[in-house]
Amino acid sequence: MRRVLVTGAASGLGAALSDAFEARGDEVLRTDISDGADLRLDITSDDDWAAALAHVEQTWGGLDVLVNNAGVAGGGRLDVATLDEWRWITEINLFGAVRGTRAFVPLLKRQRSGAIVNVASLAGLVHPAGMASYNAVKAAVVALTETTGHELAAYGVSAHVVCPSYFRTNLMSSLQGADTALGAVMSKLVESSPISADDIAAAVLEGLDRGDEVIVPDQPARDAYGLKQTDRATYDVIMRAQAAKLEEGAR
Ligand SMILES: NC(=O)c1ccc[n+]([C@@H]2O[C@H](COP(=O)([O-])OP(=O)(O)OC[C@H]3O[C@@H](n4cnc5c(N)ncnc54)[C@H](O)[C@@H]3O)[C@@H](O)[C@H]2O)c1
């Protein structure tokens, strides 16, 4: 039985991961900014993180798995997205995971065990046109996770990053941004995906069982990342065709 804290657990992947951990007999503290969780935790609030840490220490006396899952959708072409949009998505998708990590690392170091699981995205590994801010913060979450793994290995604490392609959730309800052309494309990809949050959650738990540090949980994501690594020229042709299509659609 593991003691697991999940952020963004009221919806989508956070809810599916919570269900999957519980189905294995783990105890889950579901946190979210929205109703439908055990504990209100806005991942952009230091006070909320301090309260979550105190709650975990009082009720469980420790933590085995911290899942930094909560996030929002954003993006937009370079000359359309505003700097405020960059700040907004960075504050939630990057600093949310940074705050969670900073809040719990002292406890994990003290107990000399545990795991941090950060939900990034395939966008952290391959970087489509029109999504610079989302790509950049998710790539930063990939880097944060690798660094965490190196820094905490000596303490018996592991770090794992999850990099899925598009799957069906409520993610697009959080979308903000001036680039409506990009919003339309992203919405279609999320809403028409054949992959469910439960599919991703099952693959994440399998990846954790294997001890994978980078979990690429679905075939479309593995194909895209594989192509980038093995045939960069073809990958660039495909990415630039997508960029042209986005620009064309915006006219
Ligand atoms: N759905 C996809 O196609 C996809 C693909 C790759 C990665 N992801 C990532 O998966 C993660 C989960 O997203 P999802 O697709 O399940 O979306 P979702 O919108 O269904 O769930 C996200 C949850 O995060 C919560 N949240 C938002 N801001 C928060 C904050 N400041 N504090 C606490 N909770 C907050 C929301 O209330 C919501 O319950 C995100 O990090 C997202 O970037 C999603």
The pTM of the full predicted model, rounded to 2 decimals, is 0.97
CB distance 113 to ligand 1 below 6 Å: no
d(CA 144, CA 159): 9
Q: Which amino acid is at 150?
A: H
d(CA 167, CA 16): 12
Question: What's the order of all strands across the beta sheet hosting 27-32?
Answer: 39-40, 27-32, 3-6, 65-68, 114-119, 157-162, 214-215
CB distance 119 to ligand 1 below 6 Å: yes
89-143 pLDDT, tens digit each: 999 999 999 999 999 999 999 999 999 999 999 999 999 999 999 999 999 999 9
Task: Report pLDDT for 249.
Answer: 86
The DSSP code for 11 is: S
d(CA 72, CA 173): 9
> Which of ligand 1's atoms lies nearest the C-alpha of 36?
39
Task: Report pLDDT for 175.
Answer: 84
d(CA 17, CA 3): 13
Bridge partners (DSSP) listed for residue 39: 31
CB distance 126 to ligand 1 below 6 Å: no
39-57 pLDDT, tens digit each: 999 999 999 999 999 999 9
SS3 of residue 61 by DSSP: coil
3, 24 Cβ separation under 8 angstroms: no
CA distances from 157 to 39, 104, 142 (A): 25, 11, 17
> Which of ligand 1's atoms lies nearest the C-alpha of 73?
43
Atom 3 of ligand 1: nearest residue by CA position? 166
Best residue among 11, 39, 144, 185 to mutate for probing ligand 1's pocket (most ligand atoms within 8 Å of CB) is: 11
The tokens for 151 are: 């820094």
CB distance 118 to ligand 1 below 6 Å: no
Nearest-5° angle of CA 217, CA 113, CA 139?
Answer: 40
Q: What percent of the chain has pLDDT over 90?
A: 89
Nearest-5° angle of CA 206, CA 131, CA 42?
Answer: 65
The tokens for 187 are: 């919405």
82-86, 179-183, 195-199 — which is least confidently predicted? Answer: 179-183
Residue tagged 């996770």 (tokens)? 145
The tokens for 10 are: 């009221």
Instruction: Give how far the C-alpha of residue 112 lies from the chain's centroid of Cα atoms, to the nearest Å.
Output: 25
- Specify whether 134 is catalytic: yes
CB distance 174 to ligand 1 below 6 Å: yes
